[in-house]
Structure 1
Amino acid sequence: MHYKEAMMMSALSLRFDPGGATLSWPDGPLLRGITAAVHYRVEGEAHSLHLARPDHAATADGLHVIWRWEPAEDGSDIWLEVANVGSADLLLDALDVFAVHAAEGGVCDLGSPPAQWSFYQNGWISWSPTFARRVDDGLYTDPGTPAYRRMHQPHWNPAHGSNLSSEWVTVVHCSLSHCSLLLGFVTTRDQLAEIRLDLDGDDFAALVARCYLDGIKLRPGETLRSERLWVRAGGDPVALLEDWAERTGREMQARVPPAPPTGWCTWYYFYGENTAQDVLDNVAAIAEHELPLDLILLDDGYQTAIGDWLSLQAEKFPQGMEPVTAAIRAAGRTPGIWTAPFGAAVDSLLFAEHHDWFLRDEAGEPVVGWVHWGMDCYALDCTHPEVLAWLRETFGWMRRRWGFAFFKIDFIFAAALPGRRYDPTATRAQALRWGVEAIREAIGDDVFLLGCGAPLGVCVGLVDGMRVGPDVDPNWHPIWSHDLSMPSTENALRNSIARAPFHGRLWANDPDCLLVRQRGPDMDLVLNEMRTLSALVALLGGMTLDSDHLPAVRTGRLKYLRQALPPARVSARPLDLFENERPRLLVLPVTRGWGRWWVAGVINWDDRTTETTIRLANLGLPSDRYHVYHYWRRRYLGVTDDAVTVRRHQPHETAVLLFKPVSERPDLLTTTFHVCQGAAEIADCKFEITDSRSQIAVVLQKAGRQFGEVLFAVPEGWRAMEARVDGVKRSLVPVAPGVVGLGLTLAGRAEVEVEFAH
């Protein structure tokens, strides 16, 4: 479409000047000097073609470019269209869909200098550090190693200097003006894309949204377009991220399962040393303890080498794989399997027999994807037709012959590493996506596919679940404290919180596994740390897998697993994501036909005990009086209309607090069957009220078997008269002034009825 001099986008206005576009708030310019550019090569010489006005074509060296803008959902969609109208091949490196450079007169004015800004850094892959970084320095450090750059910095360039980089999406937020700017690519299938904020000391230098074409060949007559960038501004930065994820999910036809999987995984106890019998022993323990876990995931260690997925270690699986999956299915569970499909170890048969299947560097050597237990694993070239055929055959065998119905694909960033490919017209993103598409085709649409070690954006629409953080670990802190991508419970949770807006919009988030076993040689998490892991996984609402050796876990520890099941499906919101690099406040609003309440997770990341005060206004609660219940301490904290204080908030403890509006009538307060306190385990709640009598009927519904309590608030002037569980009289006990409760064992379903008199 053709533009007039200006257009309105909700509260924003856009004006096109000869030197570039200007995006303004009602109070003045937000961004000035917005331009675009194409970076390409002709006969080895680098060139750039710049554009300053949309819908105006520019041509040079046979390259024809149009810069498009289109109004879209309170913002603008922006993209570039490129054609080779010449007679020679062109090599395309990058498309700057949106660029503001201070050196060229560009301005980014969020209401204060950059020292007051936070920049949402979405890392490249599952394990890459993700959080809202303070521009004036903070938590992030760059280890600077070749392995780190290969795995987490896909566009690393020493010439960039002091910059902040985010993959596919960012929000830049000013803490003083409360102005937030979203730049997010809402299509992500064909190009890796980055938003980069450059600083010159303390001053703004550049803001660039770039799609990478990786030097692909554009032949005469061929065309392509960039990914589509959405630019929008607002006051709530978390809401902007949620809106971006919602829209990207629509554009990319995201696969969002109706309920996130639950299950058990071999990895974080056996670390690849498990046998078939170990798996079956844990399946038996799940049945014995009546744990509502469906998936049984065989992780790394069954195969003879990375790449030789159908070749089993005979001493671990002496009868092959079919009897194992058959036994899992016979127990009513779903068998799942781990692979790292886009790499092969140097000692694998796959590498020995198919040297031509692998990505090559400029010297013609195979590209190392990662190092696995000290062994180089080379990256497969997923543009090679024989590689794609091998993927279909391998995964088809696992699905049809072995009977697996859940697949975890790990280290898949390897397919998107730089290198020489069979198809010189394919980008790194396309190579990866073609590989994942081949796997999806082989396993079918009805099978759950979990991505891990994955460039996130490229996988939207193909995977059902996505790991969103580093590996969890039986230790709270990582071994190398400054590497935010290292395995640790702390790192896994921080990333999972920062990517909470993606859950239920792009896929089901996988925060990694719960570990509830007692402390010992293979478990260093103290009670508060283990409870924090359980609480945050529950509040985040995503996939919930355990990775303990269940036959050896004490019964008292299994309650922490039960209290996180089933997933609540929706995620709590990290309200202070842009205020604290380690967000301290998660809030899950719960609305049902019988009421509304809020469950907050208040995190102490520090290594010392503190006192934490939470103001209702900071939770976004309407002005009212609220009951407050402390879940882990099983303590009613009374009524407040202002704030609540957690005294002796211990190191790495998450206080889980329920806030429920005070009623003049008797009311259901909470249950202890689930961390989310009513969001997952209450099927229904009905009230029958007269002037002098009140009856509450609560239907509890939850798979498995579990003891817990149901608590009721009793206003002054009312008294509890009688309680029944499934028609059988039960005694109510005082819990605190104005609160009564009863305990019961819930085995699937129960109805609790309580009568009150005025």
Structure 2
Amino acid sequence: METCSPARLHAGPEGFARVVFDAPAEKTVSLFVEAFVTRQDGDSGVVSTARLGEVEQASEGGVEFRAKDGDDTGDLLKLDPDRGLEVCTAGTNRIRRVELRIREASSLEEHEMGISDSNLTMSKVFTQGYQTWNLSAAHPVDGTRQKSIASKFGLSGMFQDTDNEAWRQKGRGVESHGFLVVQSEQANATSDDTSATPPALWLIGGTSCRRGVVSFWVSQQWPGTGRESQNQVRCFVDFGIPGVQSSAQEDFWMASAGTTQALVEEFAQRVQLVQDTAAGDAALELASPLRELGRAPVGWGSWYEYYENVTSADVDTVLTAITSDEAVARSIDVFQLDDGFQLNTGDWLQTRAAFGEEEIARVAQRIRSAGFAPGLWIAPFLVSKTSLVYREHPDWVLRNVKSGKPVVGHVNPAWKRRKNGSCKSSIASMVMYILDLSIPEVLEHLTKTFQELAKNWAFFKIDFLAAGMREGRRRYAADQTRVESYIAGVKAIRRGIGPQSYLLGCGAPLLPSAQSGVFDAMRVSCDTAERWLPGRERYLVSDWAIPCCRNALWGSMTRYFMHGTLWKHSDPDCLVLRRAGSVITEDQVRTQVTILGLTGGLLLFTDNMSTLETDRKDLALGVLPATPLRGAPVGDVMMPGLPPRAFAVNDPLNPALHVATAFVNWTTSRAKITAKRDMFDFWHLRRYRVGDVTELRPHGVCAGQMAADGAFFIGTTIHLTALADGRIVQEVIDDQAWRISGTDQFARKSGLLIFEGTPETLSISDYSGLEISKDIFAIADTNGSTSAVEICIVSETWTLDIIQEGSVLKKERLSPTASSQSL
């Protein structure tokens, strides 16, 4: 794995600190940082912002920003690029916010800073979305944040962090949350300029989220200057209202590397270290059986087929269909009932009329009897105006700081049709208020509710969690920041379900959720849907947050690094496969199945399995169960406006041997790709040699199984990643004989094994645990020397010995150090 180089921090002149990153070709990226503190006077309540204009080198490393002489607040900010950020103030003053203003040395005037030794300038940024449904992607430095009708009417609080300073910035620019990756390159250099300095990549981010929220605003308009000034970054650490008293500390990290992937992967590992240190609660020693599968769970969820109209009869229909299908049934671990069962949002122990007189516990018992872990969806921090919880405890909801009115957490038209006899209009059931998570009785209510549910349910998907991070007047614990309230809320839920239940988060603020340490899994994308691209509602909400297949895949690919670090498993959302009632083409289904199969995350069906077309279902079987490895983007992810074009899974113990890679055409036109390595196309049953050209239809994919140069066993149709993740392995018996072996853990029990050589030169010498056709046949290949053997697995373990006559196979081809061509 590529290593990252930590930044070096030095005290600079005129109240600036200097940050230096090592860049390619022995060049450096030089940045200058100035610090500001926004504080609230403890006596008068007056809020003011001051620049900390004195900078000194700290004895233990890093720098210290201090208030200038004559300022009696005692404001002090310590910043170390590896150890963190600490801010202090004197007396009864409270710290509301810290701001770091970062400028490139090359953009500073000579009389202000002196001549710069850097010839690199910021060109692109990779930003991190605030919560589950916000996209993480690359943007040009002069990009524009997507605005929407919802934001203009103040209805974006469920989708964006509207309570932080980055959101409040005006004009042209882009925001990021938690961390920011910047690509700096030589100004005015052309792509064919061989003398140009190679681009450099650097990251700045907060690896903890104990009390504050870290966000960034990248813009060309420097605050207070009245002029356009290139490439400026403002980093905010928001502690909210009323702020924190005396001092606060967050872990911070600044480093450079040759790839964005190296930076975000190490960032995630550092977040994991902070998370492990913070998790002292005994209930956080998570021990769900679904964590111990050796891979992410596979399941079925009701949402994208039935939405909020699911009924008890629908549950029975799908359960029957799944248990009747051997291939699907042996792959399923979880059966999850989504939104639609509850009488009111907030009253989670009461079912609506579509479930008859039946208690929700009986639904769980039927699921368990079918052999699956029963799963349930809940939006724990929201309560509707019509709910029993709100009618009995109106004092439990979060209130606006100024007006004292309840903070509206969400308005959902889908919940309008749930009428309650106590309310004259069902419109009231659309409006969601937010529980005040500082109130002990609210936390106790959450714990007891989930304790009751956990008697029957083993898998919980908790949704719309960003509501718990909204700013407001908290009735108890006035010193508690919104981060602390949110973490208290999710820990109350974990105490209720216990360590043995599996907890999946959704609609959640990502870094505060990681800090809590309570989640087994987390959704890392927006919702999918039975369509490829957004519809007209993109004018209401941000285009990238609108449910559709492309957007969900995009988020799952760019947030790959969270899987196995910030939580055990990532959730890329469901597989929407059906032809009936959708506008998803077969190419789009293949692309969806391929990408989700390579992520290593949860894999959930969502269609009515009794009516799902067999050919569409069979596509999904090719990636079940999930790979135990984590996929990652291949090549440059700094491509504004497009998801990564390639995504791959490697065998970490033997990376030279096999790689499973998706090459995707995201455009609406046909696209050609040229093979830079030998590969077998999993979907189209064709062998491609180096230099071969294939054409992808719009939104199509080439799922390539790539073997080492000169390999004999090159692919299989049993499972897309089986060779890459080591579930089907090969070994040399002698110079001309090979043994292929595996287990019966795959959804597909029959398929092809693909070999180098013509049918005339191959012969099967022995096999066990298989039914087999000895008629070896040719596979499409420009050289005409690729063959296949059709097998059917009939035992828990199996082997096949095959001989290639007239060819000496070198054992060195299995060497873990064998070189492999780049993609």
Corresponding residue to 1:560 among 602, 619, 632: 619
State the partner residue of 1:470: 526
- The residue type equivalent to 1:277 in the other structure is A
Q: Is the 8 A contact 2:312 2:354 kept in 1?
A: no
2:697 equivalent to 1:697: no
Corresponding residue to 1:685 among 714, 720, 730: 730
Alpha-carbon offset, residue 326 of structure 1: 1.6
* Secondary structure, counterpart of 2:678 in structure 1: strand
CA gap of 1:63–1:706, structure 2 versus 1, over 3 A, is farther
Corresponding residue to 1:735 among 772, 779, 799: 779
Corresponding residue to 1:502 among 551, 557, 562: 562
Q: Is the 8 A contact 2:723 2:729 kept in 1?
A: no
State the partner residue of 1:714: 757
Q: Distance in 1 between matches of 2:445 and 2:433?
A: 16
Alpha-carbon offset, residue 682 of structure 1: 2.4
Q: How does 1:310-709 map to 2 (within 5 A)?
A: 310-361=349-400, 362-372=402-412, 373=414, 374=416, 375-400=430-455, 403-422=456-475, 423-460=477-514, 461-480=517-536, 481=538, 483-507=543-567, 508-517=569-578, 519-520=579-580, 522-574=581-633, 575-582=635-642, 583-592=644-653, 596-613=657-674, 616=676, 626-637=677-688, 639-640=689-690, 643-647=691-695, 649-663=696-710, 667-679=712-724, 682-690=727-735, 693-709=736-752
State the partner residue of 2:93: 90
Q: Is the 8 A contact 2:65 2:76 kept in 1?
A: yes
- The residue type equivalent to 1:695 in the other structure is W
State the partner residue of 1:4: none
- The residue type equivalent to 1:579 in the other structure is M
Q: How does 1:261-276 map to 2 (within 5 A)?
A: 261-276=297-312
Alpha-carbon offset, residue 204 of structure 1: 2.5
CA gap of 1:62–1:378, structure 2 versus 1, over 3 A, is farther
Identity of aligned residues (%): 25
State the partner residue of 2:252: 229
2:218 equivalent to 1:197: yes
CA gap of 1:728–1:607, structure 2 versus 1, over 3 A, is closer
Alpha-carbon offset, residue 446 of structure 1: 2.2
CA gap of 1:343–1:679, structure 2 versus 1, over 3 A, is same
Q: Distance in 2 between matches of 1:210 and 1:719?
A: 65
Report the RMSD for the aligned CA atoms in angstroms: 2.8
Q: Which moved more, 1:710-719 or 1:388-397?
A: 710-719
2:182 equivalent to 1:128: no
Q: Distance in 1 between matches of 2:525 and 2:506?
A: 9
State the partner residue of 1:623: none
* Secondary structure, counterpart of 1:607 in structure 2: coil
Q: Distance in 2 between matches of 1:701 and 1:227?
A: 48
Alpha-carbon offset, residue 112 of structure 1: 4.3
Q: Which moved more, 1:587-596 or 1:237-246?
A: 587-596
CA gap of 1:208–1:113, structure 2 versus 1, over 3 A, is same
Q: Is the 8 A contact 1:568 1:679 kept in 2?
A: no
* Secondary structure, counterpart of 2:499 in structure 1: coil
Alpha-carbon offset, residue 715 of structure 1: 8.0
Alpha-carbon offset, residue 359 of structure 1: 0.9
CA gap of 1:509–1:729, structure 2 versus 1, over 3 A, is closer
Q: Which consecutive unaligned segments of at least 5 residues does structure 1 have?
A: 1-8, 617-625
Q: How does 1:216-255 map to 2 (within 5 A)?
A: 216-218=242-244, 222-253=245-276
Q: Which moved more, 1:432-441 or 1:582-591?
A: 582-591
Alpha-carbon offset, residue 57 of structure 1: 7.0
CA gap of 1:595–1:724, structure 2 versus 1, over 3 A, is farther
* Secondary structure, counterpart of 1:92 in structure 2: strand
Q: Distance in 1 between matches of 2:172 and 2:630?
A: 34
Q: Distance in 2 between matches of 1:206 and 1:136?
A: 10
CA gap of 1:726–1:404, structure 2 versus 1, over 3 A, is same
State the partner residue of 1:5: none
Q: Is the 8 A contact 2:622 2:747 kept in 1?
A: no
CA gap of 1:194–1:719, structure 2 versus 1, over 3 A, is same
Give the TM-score, by structure 1 length. Answer: 0.88
CA gap of 1:714–1:698, structure 2 versus 1, over 3 A, is farther
Alpha-carbon offset, residue 13 of structure 1: 4.0
CA gap of 1:464–1:341, structure 2 versus 1, over 3 A, is same
CA gap of 1:577–1:217, structure 2 versus 1, over 3 A, is closer
CA gap of 1:593–1:232, structure 2 versus 1, over 3 A, is closer
State the partner residue of 2:17: 21
Between structures 1 and 2, the one with greater strand share? 1
Q: Distance in 2 between matches of 1:728 and 1:536?
A: 31
CA gap of 1:24–1:704, structure 2 versus 1, over 3 A, is closer
Alpha-carbon offset, residue 110 of structure 1: 7.6
- The residue type equivalent to 1:486 in the other structure is I
State the partner residue of 1:66: 76
- The residue type equivalent to 2:511 in the other structure is G
State the partner residue of 1:287: 323
Q: Which consecutive unaligned segments of at least 5 residues does structure 2 have?
A: 59-63, 187-197, 222-226, 280-285, 417-429, 807-823
2:79 equivalent to 1:79: no
Cα deviation digits, residues 39-72 of structure 1 (max 9, x gap) = 11222433224333354474687644433344xx
Q: How many corresponding residue pairs?
A: 716
